[in-house]
Amino acid sequence: MKYNKLGQPGPEGEINPDAPEAGPYTYDFGPGTPNPNGAVNPGMEPSTGGGPSTTVTNEAAMAIARSLFSFFPEAVLKEYAKAWVKYADPQLAIAEVRTTSAWENEFGYLQRDDGTLIMSEGEALSTQASYRETLQEVGITDTEQFNQKFKDLVSGEVSAAEFQQRVDLVYNQVIDQIPEVERLYRERYGLDIDAPTVFGALIDPDISDKVLKGDIQTLQLQAQASIRGFTQGFARFEELRKAGLTAERAGQLYEAAQPTMQLAQGIGRELDIKTLEDAALGDTSAQKRVQRVQAQIQSEYGGLDIGAARTRTGEIVGLVED
């Protein structure tokens, strides 16, 4: 059992949250009594008025700062200690800390345009820890490259639960493609990349640029095609990506393409994959050609649906609108 500067007993090193100005419990006896090592508990000095009720040393203020905000970086802790010496009040001290450049550098992403906080610093770090756990669950153990992404998510007020839902959704969409993307990357660059790296790049374009030179999205399109039997050069998929073809739309396109081409062949019409790709991206000439073939197929086979669909926003995906 040790004592603080107010003579209150408590566990060594801890601080009474109701009297943080008294510093940690570090003394063997109360104020004014010599300790066995010769040190004396100095007690609290009375205020002369017009300021905080006590005078606190910088050392004691740093101890208070570390006790209340152990997760703060050192630069922010020092600002809190300075503010505590000035005010000896936790609310006034933290309010002043949040106006400093040290806090801005570390936690500025928490401040809305109107000056209010999205959440406290501790809550933000806890939320980011939950983000990391979510990524670790899908095999991404090195999450350092996501640090800025995590801050952006907090700024966007994305909860830990919502982030998990997003990751699970993407993971379920791409898990079957990852081995094919790995294979294509080995063939194109002669490099081995693991599944977590591929998935990390797929869920964060910034990671894609840093880790895979921006080609991962193109390789994902190529994987969507190759696992369904369509083999084309990287340049073609790069062209499709730049034209706006997403992995989701590519999956729908190539899934419907093979049976459609077979049906067209069955009625004596030729329909190649490039025409279907161009049609899916909105090329008018290609769409008209596909629609003519589609009409003939439906006439021949009695209204058969060959895979086009309209999204909630009105966008046509799969092949083309009938």
The DSSP-derived string for 82-126 is HHHHHH--HHHHHHHHTTSHHHHHHHGGGB-TTS-BSS-HHHHHH
How far is the C-alpha of 75 from the C-alpha of 95, rounded, in Å?
16
Res. 216: pLDDT tops 80: no
Return the amino acid letter for 168: D
Confidence of residue 37 (pLDDT cuts 50, 70, 90): low
Nearest to 219 by CA among 265, 179, 268: 179
Give the model's pLDDT for residue 141: 77
- The pLDDT tens digits of the residues spanning 39-69 come to 666 665 544 444 444 556 788 888 888 888 9
Look up residue 62 and give its two tokens: 């740093």
The C-alpha atoms of residue 104 and residue 265 are separated, in whole angstroms, by: 65
Per-residue pLDDT, averaged over 233-251, amounts to 85
Residue 47 DSSP code: P
Confidence of residue 241 (pLDDT cuts 50, 70, 90): confident
Handedness of CA 217, 221, 222, 227 (dihedral sign): positive
The whole-model pTM stands at: 0.50
Compute the mean pLDDT over every residue in the chain, rounded to the nearest whole number: 78
Q: How far apart are CA 316 and CA 69, in angstroms?
A: 53
Q: Residue 267 in contact with residue 295, Cβ under 8 Å?
A: no
Sign of CA dihedral 117, 121, 122, 126: positive
> Which tokens sit at 181?
């993307």
Looking at residue 322, its pLDDT comes to 40
